[in-house]
Amino acid sequence: MKKVITYGTFDMLHYGHINLLRRARALGDYLIVALSSDSFNAIKNKQSFFHYEHRRQMLESIRYVDLIIPENDWEQKREDIIKHNVNIFVMGNDREGKFDFLKDICEVVYQERTPEISTTRIKNHLKIR
């Protein structure tokens, strides 16, 4: 079984997120999503509209997602990959090269983002209305 993992906050879930999850799942047989916890978002100076539990519930309803684990700190990626026997690490290409340090334990794939949509773009648009 080929396992794939990706990380994110997945706040204000939109079709760009769905595209990423669909394409990530297509790379393997099992998709793990490491979902940023509320406490980790605070460390990153991010404030989510939805709390962790609600974001987890939304992700659970997506057919491409097989397992959701909490992301609690910057350092856990290597540990998660080893613990869950992950073959492929997936991240958006806006982070190109940032995770190459994981290439010694798995394949690292940077997927193209859906260019016309982002959570930041949605939040900025809603501020002007």
How far is 89 from 74, CA to CA, in rounded Å? 15
Domain ranges of the chain: 3-127
Catalytic residue ranges: 44, 46
CATH class of 3-127: alpha beta
**Burial annotation 94-122 (CB, 10 A radius, 16+ → b, else e):** eeeeebeebeeebebbbeebbeeebbeee
Amino acid at 63: R
Q: What is the pTM of this model?
A: 0.90
Over residues 20-50, the pLDDT tens digits come to: 999 999 999 999 999 999 999 999 998 888 9
Rounded to whole angstroms, the Cα distance separating 126 from 70 reads 28
Does residue 73 surpass a pLDDT of 90?
yes
